[in-house]
Amino acid sequence: MIRIDDPALVRCLAEDFLETFRGRNQTLDRSFDEGRLILLDGLNGNALLKEVLDQIASAREEVFVESAYVSGPFLDALETAARRGIRVVIVVPEVNNWKWHDAYTRIECCRRGLELHHYRGSMNHVKAVLIDSRVLMLGSCNFDYFAYYLHQDLLFITTDRNPRAAVQGARPRCRIWRGRAACPWRTISPGELAGRPSASAPPIPR
């Protein structure tokens, strides 16, 4: 659950809800006190999300993604970051309602050199990207082909001047946890990514 305290942002979201209910698609890219709101209408995603992709590709330390359906062109931006030596971690549900997508994600992560982990035991619809423990992107956007080209989605981007505050404030809400003891993920080994089952897999290190 996320609490929004900015009255202007609340009014904008309420207006978008009513406009969607009336069958009128909204396109928006607006900054508020608490962050930046992007409304995708299914037609202009490539223009509205260009800066988002650039921000992912130019990460300085780490990109952490939790989404069930990550695909291109977001994978391209993640690969660009990884090729510069940036750690890229992708968490997907162990039980995906699109069963074929798990195989697709394994293949793409293996091919692109991305670190893949399973959220254990159930489907998980969290949609979030955390860049350098400072920039948090979340909303209804799955960071996939459909969000980029077809879907009407909402993406909110917030930045905190204090990286620790951003991590502590955002991660519990988004299941972006890093504690070793309570880690809900299962690491997928390079062998598994290549199609060879692994008997054991350690959790993500701190």
pLDDT, tens only, 111-131: 888 888 887 777 777 889 999
Total number of domains constituting the chain = 1
Q: Is residue 17 part of a domain?
A: no
Q: Report residue 194 as tokens.
A: 């290549």
Residue in the structure block whose two tokens are 């980029």: 148
pLDDT tier at 49 (50, 70, 90 boundaries)?
Answer: confident
Q: How many residues does the chain have?
A: 206
Expressed as residue numbers, the domain containing 37 is 24-193
Q: Is residue 86 part of a domain?
A: yes
Q: What is the CATH number of the domain that holds 164?
A: 3.30.870.10
pLDDT tier at 144 (50, 70, 90 boundaries)?
Answer: confident
Q: Is residue 70 part of a domain?
A: yes
Give the E-state strand segments of the chain in sequence order: 28-32, 35-41, 62-66, 87-93, 115-119, 128-131, 135-139, 152-159, 185-187
Q: Is residue 101 part of a domain?
A: yes
Q: Is residue 13 part of a domain?
A: no
Instruction: State pTM to two decimals.
Output: 0.75
Q: Is residue 127 part of a domain?
A: yes
Residue 193 has pLDDT above 70, yes or no: no
Q: Is residue 7 part of a domain?
A: no
Q: Is residue 95 part of a domain?
A: yes
